[in-house]
Structure 1
Amino acid sequence: MKAILSAAVDWYVRLHDSNVDDATRAAWQAWCTADPRHAAAWARLEQLQGRLGSAPRGAAQTLEIARRDRRHAVKALALLLGVGAVGWQGYRASPWSADYATRIGERRRLTLADGTRLDLNTDSRVDVRYDAGQRLIQLQRGEILVETAKDARPLSVRTVAGDILALGTRFSVRQDNDVSHVAVAAHAVEVRPSRASQVVRIDSGYSLSFAADHIGPLQPLAPGGQAWAEGMLVSVDWRLDEVVHELARYRPGYLGCAGEVAGLRLSGAFNLDDTDVALASLEDALPVRARRMTRYWVRMEPIGKG
């Protein structure tokens, strides 16, 4: 297994080289599918990389150095996997443990062992479980965008509400407490609640929400609903409190909206990488101001209040 792990690290380095080409990517995918142990080794390396997002700075830098210097890659992997046997024990026991995770305001884009692209939105956690018979992505919290790669094994996303079976597709899944929201941008998915026998197909251009015991009606896909993957929030005739609620997901602390202005409506596109700029845009577009008690307490209020 050590030799296979070494090969996985070598592929990791090659895929992150600035001169990587399509032929290299195709060769990597062929290597991953040639042997289940290859896919397992790649998944293990990706899981390690994902966990380093919450790791001590020195450990996280070790894999980054390995990425840039192939000669040190195997040594770095051995070190990190050694740390993984002991040093990660406390981390894995914490409620924040996951194969991949993002902090508030952070987004991540990953390529899984089969070539599937996975985007994580702010404050999200997922586990990835691939084996010889299935590809399973378990969404613990938050929101993901999945663009599936061709593979004989079925790919599903599992949430607290049930399973979403991909039918060769691009789709997003968002978890809000006990309700899961699914939006399909290409092809189709099947939704299967965990405590209901009903199965509903969602085709491209539609979305729905479902809980463990029921499925809501199909709705047209909201314009720009998956723009977050490119760092944008798109609103079309939204209430102000809806915009503020979404922006609040991307910044720590409290961001709220006074009732007097909650119903004001607007359309726009807002940069999720700088929510202060987004709030300034709201002040420019509407008769509101951002009242700041501290950096972590902001409320949109009518101009002149207070």
Structure 2
Amino acid sequence: MSRAPDLKTLEAAATWFVQLNDGAQCEATSRAWQTWLDASPQHAAAWSRVEKLQQQWARVPRQSALSSLSAAKAQRREVLKILSMLLAAGACGWLAVEEVPYRSMLARQRTGSRERRTLALADGSQLELNADTALDVRFDSHQRLIQLYRGEILIQTAKDPAQRPFIVDTAQGRVRALGTQFSVRQLSGHTRVGVLQAAVEVSAYRFAGQPVRLEAGQQVTFDREGVDAIRPLSAGSTAWVHGMLSVDDWRLGDFVDELSRYRPGVLHCAAAVQDLRISGAFRIDDTETVLENLSKTLPVKVRFMTRYWASIEPA
């Protein structure tokens, strides 16, 4: 039985929907879409869901739908706004029950695929939001809570006169700050936490044991069932704050997955070259140059099927 498509796959399907219906699509675009569709059962499942969205357009006021669709043509990330509008109108019941994608699209604080942002909080704490991040800030008299739905944040907490705990909740568990600077990344099915200063406590939702304490220079990954072994914090783990992606002997497939966070559309890496190794520091604000330079250092070539579809293949 095939696994349900994740949010990234759903977004890719929505992007193809916009491209195929913008009036300017060509045969090459259609072929590229078909290649994407055939590449994975999850792609086919995501496309089926987007087609269900298409069937609901008649329920949306025509002027509103056309306005959102026009915006989506101009900028890919507006696809999320279309889906958000349909959800709010009750026109897409199948996604409403998928809590994390639903809530991330309606989050009050979001960044796009080429956007990073600094957010100053009411208590004096500061958040750095990486690209493609969605969260809500919920401060009350009892706690300071960040609900992270998608993406990655770097947090510098401030002292609170009311001594309210500072907490980050993800889909897998909870991170409690102990006067610190730390990063939290929501991955597919798990969360990764790294501590730069002081300490944090990590708790998985379905684990009844004591929280795991992390000190400065440590990182850990956890899912809903438990927390993995503590490891040293990876060098360059927060280089994104300065617009860089720093890697040391990474698989090319993992590198491409990471680079795709900072690039609209689909960035594919052929299986034949995924195990090549790569090291270096790369500017995430200029992914075009990064892709051009790959063929100069590795036996690969980059083929652009459309503006939003690039494939890294054997040279």
- Superposition deviation, residue 140 in structure 1: 1.2
- Work out which of the residue numbers 209, 219, 229 in structure 2 matches 1:207: 219
Q: Within the alignment, does 1:287 sit opposite 2:299 as a pair?
A: yes
1:93 is aligned to: 88
SS in 2 for 1:249: helix
TM-score, structure 1 as length reference: 0.67
Distance 1:150 1:115, change over 3 A: same
Identity %: 49
Structure 2 unaligned blocks of 5 or more: 1-67, 69-83, 90-101
- Picking from 121, 146, 166, the partner of 1:155 is 166
Q: Measure, in 1, the Cα distance between the counterparts of 2:85 and 2:310.
A: 35
Of 103, 123, 148, the residue aligned with 2:132 is 123
The structural deviation recorded for 1:115 is 1.1
Deviation at 1:91, TM superposition (A): 9.4
The answer to whether the aligner puts 1:167 opposite 2:178 as a matched pair is: yes
**Matching residue's letter, 2:219:** S
Counterparts of 1:1-306 in structure 2, within 5 Å, are 93=88, 95=102, 96-151=105-160, 152-198=163-209, 199-303=211-315
In the alignment, structure 1 segments of 5+ residues that lack a partner are 1-55, 57-88
Match of 1:256, SS state, is: strand
CA RMSD in angstroms comes to 1.8
Taking the aligned partners of 1:241 and 1:177, their CA distance within structure 2 comes to: 16
Whole-Å separation in 2 of the counterparts to 1:178 and 1:261: 26
- The secondary structure found in structure 1 opposite 2:200 is strand
- Tell me the matched-pair count: 216
Q: What SS is found at the alignment partner of 1:212?
A: coil
User: Normalised by the size of structure 2, how large is the TM-score?
Assistant: 0.65
What is the rounded CA distance, in whole Å, between the counterparts of 1:134 and 1:229 in structure 2?
Answer: 27
Q: Secondary structure at the match of 1:247?
A: helix
Q: CA deviation at 1:105?
A: 2.1
Question: Could you tell me how far 1:284 is from its partner in structure 2?
Answer: 2.0
Which amino acid counterpart does residue 172 of structure 1 have in structure 2?
S
Question: What is the match of residue 99 of structure 2?
Answer: none
- Offset, 1:227: 0.8
1:38 maps to which residue?
none
Distance of 2:271 and 2:286 partners within structure 1: 25
User: Contact 1:208 / 1:218 at 8 angstroms: preserved in 2?
Assistant: yes
Q: Give the Cα–Cα distance (whole angstroms) in 2 for the partners of residues 284 and 203 of structure 1.
A: 40
4+ residue segments displaced more than 3 Å: 89-95
Matched AA of 2:192: H
- Deviation at residue 178 of structure 1 after TM alignment: 2.4
Highest Rg: 1 or 2?
1
Counterpart residue identity of residue 159, structure 1? T
| Residues 91 and 97 in structure 1, CA contact (< 8 A), matched pair in contact too | no
By how many angstroms is 1:104 displaced? 1.7
Counterpart residue identity of residue 143, structure 1: E
Deviates more, 1:201-210 or 1:275-284: 275-284
Measure the CA separation in 1 of the matches of 2:244 and 2:154: 14
* 1:147–1:169 Cα contact (<8 Å) kept: yes
